[in-house]
Structures are given as structure tokens and as C-alpha cells.
Amino acid sequence: MVSSRHADVQVGDASRLFDGRRLTLARQLIGLRKNALAAKIDKSPTAVAAYENNTKRPAPVTVAQLCLTLGVDPGFFLPGPHQLTASDPVPHFRSLRSTTQLARDQAFAYGVISGDVGAALERHVEFPEPNLPQLSVDVDDESSDLPEEAARLLREHWEISSGPVGHLVRLAEHHGIVVVFSPVQTAAVDAYSFNDGYRPTVVLNPTKEDYYRQRFDVAHEIGHLVMHVDAEPGSKVVENQAHRFAAELLLPENELRDLLPSKADWRSLAALKEAYGVSLQALLYRSRALGVMSDVTYRNAVAYLSSKGWRRREPGEMPAVEQPSLYPKAVEILQSVGMNELSLAKESRVTPGIFRTVTARHPVREDLFLDPQKTDAPDGAIPLFRSVVDHPGK
């Protein structure tokens, strides 16, 4: 219970300055619908909706109930370090059909919270300004070469020299894109991206340990950020546009057309795989897309991949996945001048567990976020917060 005088003051302040959008985030992070939250705090769904749309302020005792139920400190409900724009962004998930709305809400809320962490860190360190060109591509456009044009535009804008693209995550961060790993509990949601008015953000799947596929994921999500700012996510056309963008970004036609074999020359393909940092499957797909390899040859090559088990694990040593460094380096710098993780987490208004996950170079594998008050998760959503309300000093 919130029993100390200091905690009571916090609850009172949170009641007076309550921001309903923060309640929405906390509810989504723990994987609850409005009616489920209403039942837990003994309020009506209408009341919860009123709290979230800021037409009604919860009383201090209700704020305390919300804290206990959602596993956050009272300060979480004050306006966050950065504010969403008037029209909330829609994240680009790979497949809307295979991802529940609850899971998408949970993943997006985590992305927004990662922006809160970044905004707090930027009070003390300077990050690169976002530097991302825009070339809007119609969501029904299946025939033009605009996705490839968008990739060429980005290469020119970022002054990427000819040849293989180097460390793609570091390159994106250098141009002001936030790249973070999601919690392992949300691994059912693949990589996704959005631009919420703070910074363009790419959230990577923490369980994907394939260097080559992760690089393609990052290129794919950058494609969404360049082409699909206002587009509805999830359609096959939109996803195919992002795939084509990624292929042109990592494997430019003017460089690869003369290098790709017309037959399944595995030695040549393996050499290109190592040089350009893409999978054999991506090279085969690119060869067919550019008309270098016939459809029949492509299908036979893919069948051979499958027969060898290479579609799951391609031959050769697997490099470690590319790691984010923007947030982790900022934390290291601040710790070197005496700002510890706990104080930075408090300033970000998140739990230490969430802070560690957002700012990690490596995916956090530990089960850090289970709420001890919650024994089951509705519809596959995973609770992310451990309750810290009973222990405001932790």
C-alpha cells in the first residue's frame, strides 16, 4: 500500500496533474483492456474512459489503486517527458492479422515509453538531429519503382558510398533514429517502427539472433519511416514496398546486377552474403527480382535451401547481431559523472527494469517485468511492470 507521507503527497500531486494519456500507456503496457482495469479498481469502464480522455480526474485514492494495479509510481501519471502529437502515430507491424490489437497496443506503448527515456536522457546529453528524407509512396502502388527510388534517395541523403552498407543500426542512430530492443516477453511482435513526434523509432525483436535477417529488418523499418509516415500499416502492398526498399538499400541494382549469378552458384552467393551482410535467401530473391535468375532456377534453389535445412540456419559462422549504442552510450556517459541508473529511471518515470531494457546494448533476457499481483495475462498480452508502489525508494 501507499502508506508513507511522501507517497501520499505524490498521489495527491498525481491526482491534481493527472494526464489520462499516461494511464492509457500504463494500461496497455500491462496488457489490460479498459473494462478489465475498471473491474480491478472497482470503477465503471465509463469512468476509466473518462480518466483516459481527461474529462475526469481520479481522486487520490483511485490514483493509489491505479498504481497498485498497474505497477507504477504515482509520478508516472504526470505529463511525460515528451508528448504525442495530436494525431497519434500508427506503428508499422508486419502482419495485422497475426498480431492481436492488445499485443500491438502493448508494443506501441513500450515504444512510446522508450521515447520518454530518450527525452529524459537528452536533458543531459546531445543526440544527433533526426535526418530522414521523406518520399511518400501510395499504399496501392504495386507497379512503380518508387520504393527503389526512395532507397536511392536515402543512400544519397546519408552519403552512403558505393559497396556494402556497414553497421546499419549505428548508421541509423547517427542520423537520429532511435533503435531499441523490445522486452523478451513481447517477442511475438516482430520488429516494428513509428514516428511519434519525438524521434523516428525502430524496435527490434529481442529473440532474433540472425545477424543477416536483423539487418534486413532494420532496412525494412527504415523504409516504412521514409515512405509510409501517413500510411495505414500492415497491408501486403505496404510490406512489399518496404521489402523492395530494403533490398535496394542493401543490394543496389546498379552494383549487384552484374555480380549476381544466374544459376545457383552457392560459392558466389556465399561470398556476396559475407560482403553485403544479407542472407542467401535475400540474394536469391534479389536475383529473381532483377531478372538475373529465372523463376524456375529460383524455385529450385529455394527447394535446395529447404532440403539442406538452410532456410532455418544458413551455413557458416553467424556474426553477433548489430547492437544499439545511442541510449547505452548516453547512460555510460552520465554514470561516469555520477548519475546512476535509478536516478535516470526516476527522471524518465519508468521502473528500473524498463529503463534497463530500453537502454540495453543486448536484449534483456531476464523475466524482469512480471507483476507479482497478476497471475495471468489476457489474450496473450504479457505484463511488463513489477509493482514498485509499495517501495517508493526502490
Q: What is the pLDDT of residues 186-204, one digit of tens each?
A: 767 788 898 877 899 999 9
pLDDT of 369 reads 44
CATH number belonging to domain 1-79+368-394 = 1.10.260.40
Higher pLDDT residue, 81 or 184?
Answer: 184
**pLDDT band at 363; cut points 50, 70, 90:** confident
Largest CA distance in the chain: 75
Pair 133, 225: CB distance under 8 Å? no
Q: Are 244 and 154 in contact (CB under 8 A)?
A: no
pLDDT higher than threshold 90 for residue 120? yes
Q: Is pLDDT at 385 greater than 50 in this prediction?
A: no
pLDDT at 379: 42
Q: For 201, which DSSP code?
A: E
- What pLDDT score does 97 carry? 57
Continuous H helices in 31-94: 34-40, 45-52, 60-70
Amino acid letter, residue 131: N
What pLDDT sits at residue 6? 38
Grid coordinates representing 20 are: 489520462
Q: 216-232 pLDDT, tens per residue?
A: 999 999 999 999 987 77
Neighbour order of strands in the sheet with 200-204: 178-181, 200-204, 192-195
Q: Cell numbers at residue 171, please?
A: 548508421
Lowest mean pLDDT, pick from 24-33, 151-160, 244-253, 382-391: 382-391
| Distinct helix (H) and strand (E) counts, the chain | 17, 3
Rounded to 10°, the helix 341-348/101-121 angle is 120
pLDDT value at position 367?
53
Categorize the per-residue pLDDT at 1 as very low, low, confident or very high, splitting at 50, 70 and 90.
Answer: very low
| pLDDT attached to residue 93 | 65
Is the predicted pLDDT of residue 244 greater than 60, yes or no?
Answer: yes
With a cut of 80, say whether residue 131 has pLDDT above it. yes
Mean pLDDT, residues 9-37 taken together = 90
Residue 356 · residue 341 · CB < 8 Å: yes
pLDDT for res 258: 94
Share of the chain above pLDDT 70, in %: 85
Cα–Cα distance for residue pair 356/345, rounded to 1 Å: 8
Residue 155's pLDDT is what? 97
Measured between alpha carbons, how far is 172 from 155 in angstroms, rounded to an integer? 12
Which of 68-77, 307-316, 328-337, 368-377 is modeled with the greatest confidence? 328-337
Per domain, the residue ranges of the chain are: 1-79+368-394, 86-282+323-363
Instruction: Report the half-sphere exposure of 297 (CA within 13 A, side-chain side).
Output: 16
pLDDT for residue 378 is more than 50: no
**What is the pLDDT, as a whole number, of residue 82?**
62
- Least-confidence region, from 61-70, 98-107, 119-128, 325-334: 98-107
pLDDT(7) > 50 = no
pLDDT at 240: 94
First to last CA, the chain: 14
pTM: 0.86
Please compute Rg for the chain using Cα positions.
23
Mean pLDDT of the residues in the chain:
86
pLDDT above 60 for 2 = no
